[in-house]
């Protein structure tokens, strides 16, 4: 069993995944994880690895680390339909380093109802522990989320 602290991919307030107002995330259908009520404008990679999925709107990415850990980050509720809301900085199969910008979130597209960033892991038996739920944190803060797998 591995335990590690996991960096946040965007600035905002850390919340439970079940608090996201989109059922497919909140009920764990896509996997276990956490979410950020984001205020930041840049989604960065929380790990070094390979982008194995980059969605056309620039709103979601899956990054796989060399040891197999995969994380999906999805910026915004209803964001796939928000044309012009993002400026993707990487493409599928790109190698990325921890902290590298994946996409820029343009101002004016998201509000309190839609500014959520679910972060979901593909490992079925992963446990996600929020140590600083409800706190406003900066991107790459690695003191707030612990993963056990």
pLDDT tens digit at each of 149 positions of the chain: 999 999 999 999 999 999 999 999 999 999 999 999 999 999 999 999 999 999 999 999 999 999 999 999 999 999 988 889 999 999 999 999 999 999 999 999 999 999 999 999 999 999 999 999 999 999 999 999 999 99
pLDDT at residue number 80: 85
**pLDDT by residue (tens digit) across 120-134?**
999 999 999 999 999
At 86 the three-state DSSP class reads strand
| CA distances in angstroms from 3 to 71, 122, 126, 148, 149, listed in the order given | 16, 16, 10, 4, 7
Prediction pTM value: 0.96
Q: Which domain holds residue 77?
A: 3-148
In whole angstroms, what is the distance from residue 65 CA to residue 47 CA? 7
Select from 36, 54, 149, 57 the least CA-distant residue to 95: 54
If one counts the domains in the chain, the total is: 1
CATH number, domain with residue 128 = 2.70.70.10
């Amino acid at each position: 069993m591995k335990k590690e602290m996991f960096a946040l991919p965007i600035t905002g307030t850390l919340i439970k995944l079940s608090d996201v107002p989109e059922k497919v995330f909140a009920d764990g259908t896509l996997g276990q994880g956490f979410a950020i009520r984001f205020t930041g404008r840049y989604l960065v990679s929380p790990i070094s690895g390979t982008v194995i999925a980059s969605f056309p709107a620039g709103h979601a990415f899956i990054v796989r680390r060399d040891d197999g850990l995969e994380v999906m980050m999805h910026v915004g509720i209803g964001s796939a339909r928000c044309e012009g809301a993002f400026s993707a900085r990487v493409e599928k199969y790109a190698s990325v380093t921890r902290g590298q910008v994946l996409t820029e979130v343009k101002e004016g597209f998201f509000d309190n109802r839609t500014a959520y960033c679910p972060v979901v892991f593909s490992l079925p038996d992963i446990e996600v522990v929020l140590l600083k739920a409800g706190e406003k944190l900066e991107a790459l803060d690695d003191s707030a989320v612990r993963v056990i797998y």
